[in-house]
Amino acid sequence: MTQTVESTNPKAPTTPKETAPAGTEVSTPKAPRIPDALKRRVPKYSDLAPLMQFKKPEFSKAARLNRASTIWELRDIAKRRTPKAPFDYTDGAAEAEITLRRAREAFLNIEFRPGILRNVSSIDLGTDILGKPSRLPVGIAPTGFTRMMQSEGEYAGSQAAEAAGIPYTLSTMGTASIEDVAEAAPNGRNWFQLYLWTDRDRSLELIERAARAGNDTLMVTVDTAVAGARLRDVRNGMTIPPALTLKTVLDASYRPAWWFNFLTHEPLTFASLSRYTGTVADLINSMFDPTLTFEDLDWLRETWKGKLVVKGIQTVDDARKVVDHGADGVILSNHGGRQLDRAPIPFHLLPDVKEAFTKDNSDAAIILDTGIMSGADIIAALALGADFTLIGRAYLYGLMAGGRAGVDRALQILEKDMTRTMALLGVNKLSELTPDHVRILGK
């Protein structure tokens, strides 16, 4: 019999001979065997060969864009490739930029509540918006001076939207004409965004041109009685077109491709006026009508025969009123934080507007923008009651990062985000999303 004796007395002898009783055979425990996998050895080439997958560095535009996995990464590329003034015009907001920061934080301060054990092998992101199908629940928002951000401008945006099967909205302050955008994307769903001017004849001319060019939806923006205080533009001395000063020339030395494209393409022209030279704020204040009322919305409803949506809704009461005055849809928007700082956050307003429309038995579309930087943001908005969302900065970052290919990449990123988020929530199609899938933290 073999026996090992352990002592609990710290002063007791520790050797087997000292601790074992007389006549007892003692054996020492054997060290455990070391698995072959844990023994060190000189690596063989056959083991190393599969690991050595060195690739030649790629510096092409396609490679650069493919490395971007998020809209934020596209923004980083855009910032490196775009002069400060046009980049800040896109990236910035009004005054202290509190509204924009809060809008983005609103999407961060949510908790998704997924369902498990669902068959999510097939995800359908298609939806109907204002009577027509859209392959994705997102469209491109109207943005002014778009060819200033990158020379392909509205042409890249409209063609990317056409390829993705989503709506594209041309701004009154866009840098391509209504007719040229229609020609560039003849099979796309083109919308036109209108700022009502004090000169109603000029507004009527634009409306008629939009109708003749096949635009099926008119988007009237109503949150611009005057221009917001966009302080980045003031500090940068932002003008339309960008002025060649010592400061801009020095800035251009780091971004020669932008200036080469800008100077070798057609000068900036606008959807609504042939040429303008001056500051952004002066242009806006010369065009916007501070006397705009609901009676003007009635005039628009009588004049425009297609779908009419109103952009810039920031209260439940105003959402109801514009529907009463004939709007087919409302866009909950604070102009990307570019007008009134500390304005209401559209994502926070969304559930209240949805509840009000449900009580009113209204079928008016609820569209949302401001702060969207991922497909998960879009899915959260749809779960809380939005029918559709718009993206502005998110697609412009792609445009500045790589022209048309950059816009395509931005839409690819958002689509992939949405598909993954839907699958992880346990839903197959957008109609299955409910407010139960999202909880706003702190409420």
**121-141: average pLDDT:** 96
Percent of the chain topping pLDDT 70: 86
- Contact between residue 222 and residue 309 where contact means Cβ atoms under 8 Å apart: no
Give dist(CA 284, CA 90) in Å, integer. 16
Is the torsion defined by CA of 287, 291, 295, 297 positive or negative?
A: positive
- What pLDDT sits at residue 289? 73
Higher per-residue confidence, 13 vs 123:
123
DSSP 133-186: EESSSEEEPP-TTHHHHSTTHHHHHHHHHHHHT-EEEE-TT-SS-HHHHHHHST
- Per-residue pLDDT at 149 exceeds 70: yes
**186-211: average pLDDT:** 90
- What pLDDT sits at residue 243? 63
Write down the catalytic residue from 265, 325, 335, 437.
335
- What pLDDT sits at residue 116? 92
- Per-residue pLDDT at 393 exceeds 80: yes
- What pLDDT sits at residue 279? 60
Percent of the chain topping pLDDT 90: 63
Give dist(CA 182, CA 132) in Å, integer. 18
- Per-residue pLDDT at 287 exceeds 70: no
- What pLDDT sits at residue 28? 73
Higher per-residue confidence, 76 vs 227:
76
pLDDT digits (tens, 9 = 90+) for 233-259: 888 877 766 665 667 667 767 788 887
- Per-residue pLDDT at 165 exceeds 90: yes
For 376, residues 6+ apart whose C-beta sits below 8 A from its C-beta are 107, 112, 417, 418, 421
**What's the pLDDT band for 281 if we cut at 50, 70, 90?**
low
**Phi/psi of residue 379, nearest 5 degrees:** -65, -40
pLDDT digits (tens, 9 = 90+) for 20-33: 566 666 667 788 88
- What pLDDT sits at residue 26? 63
**185-209: average pLDDT:** 90
Give dist(CA 304, CA 314) in Å, integer. 24
pLDDT digits (tens, 9 = 90+) for 79-106: 999 998 889 999 999 999 999 999 999 9
**223-232: average pLDDT:** 84
- What pLDDT sits at residue 4? 47
Nearest CA to 272 out of 199, 211, 184, 203 is that of 203
Is the torsion defined by CA of 333, 338, 342, 347 positive or negative?
A: positive
CA distances from 50 to 36, 53, 54, 64, 130 (A): 21, 7, 11, 26, 54
Residue 376 CA from chain centroid, whole number: 10
pLDDT digits (tens, 9 = 90+) for 336-392: 999 999 999 999 999 999 999 999 999 999 999 999 999 999 999 999 999 999 999
**What's the pLDDT band for 169 if we cut at 50, 70, 90?**
very high
**Phi/psi of residue 390, nearest 5 degrees:** -120, 150
- What pLDDT sits at residue 278? 57
Average pLDDT, whole number, for the chain? 87
- Contact between residue 384 and residue 438 where contact means Cβ atoms under 8 Å apart: yes
- Per-residue pLDDT at 115 exceeds 90: yes
- What pLDDT sits at residue 9? 52
Is 437 assigned a catalytic role?
Answer: no
